[in-house]
Amino acid sequence: MRIIPAIDIINGKCVRLSKGDYTTQKTYSERPLEVAKSFEDHGIKYLHLVDLDGARSKHIVNHKMLYQIASKTNLKIDFGGGLKSDADLKIAFENGASQITGGSIAVSNPEVFENWLQLYGAKKIILGADANNRKIATHGWKETSTLDVIEFIKNYESKGIQQVICTDIAKDGMLQGPSFELYAEIVNETKVQLIASGGVSEFNDLIKLRELGCEGVILGKAIYEGKITLKELEKLC
């Protein structure tokens, strides 16, 4: 199972939110590059970089930070937040993203998202399935659709998606444990490579997610709050 720390960017700073609420913003570092380097120093190979300014603005904003991290580390970066156009995607890949994650665009403009999938291939495009009470949420989690998360994933699986990041919004940033039941359902009902996100609070959560069959796990606040150390993560890298 891949260990994928998250760096969420607002105004060039490394921050975390609770349940996607911007009013809960907590800044952990004003130097995201140094945070990324510390991950790499402990054997971590992957990074989930989220442009929260972009998610709010509905277009890519923090591409310079993406470039800085991509050019000064060897981390394989999946980048998301505000990617809404072909131009956004071009900027992301030109600035060092190994993959991009599309969530809102897959709901609001599926033709564009499906075109990205055809153009770049399933290894470059990750489906973001952010769920609020099992319903897909979009636009920085400010809007909730009527789409069931499992049906949403199955629909895109039929169109070629292989990797899915699923975040249970109710768990995100709360340090109360992941949505094991939801992730088990996704693993059992689809063949996608599931990257679990949200709620990881202790090392044992990672072991449980691996046993469930998750291909990867994204964690953020558990690292920043010292609930899981980078030294512990070395055991799984």
Residues with a catalytic annotation lie at: 8, 130
User: How far is residue 166 from each of residues 36, 126, 170, measured CA to CA in Å?
Assistant: 22, 10, 12
Decide: helix, strand or coil at residue 133.
coil
CB atoms within 10 A of CB 221: 24
Task: Determine the residue type at 11.
Answer: N
Q: Which two tokens stand for residue 182?
A: 């939801």
Q: Regarding beta strands 135-138 and 143-148, do their DSSP bridges make them parallel or antiparallel, or are they unpaired?
A: antiparallel
What is the C-alpha separation between 198 and 222, in angstroms, rounded? 10
Q: Is 96 exposed, middle or buried, given 0-12, 13-18 or 19+ CB atoms closer than 10 A?
A: buried
- Residues 161, 193 contacting (CB under 8 angstroms): no
Decide: helix, strand or coil at residue 202.
coil
- Residues 193, 164 contacting (CB under 8 angstroms): yes
- Residue 173 — φ and ψ, nearest 5°? 75, 5
Q: Regarding beta strands 163-168 and 46-51, do their DSSP bridges make them parallel or antiparallel, or are they unpaired?
A: unpaired
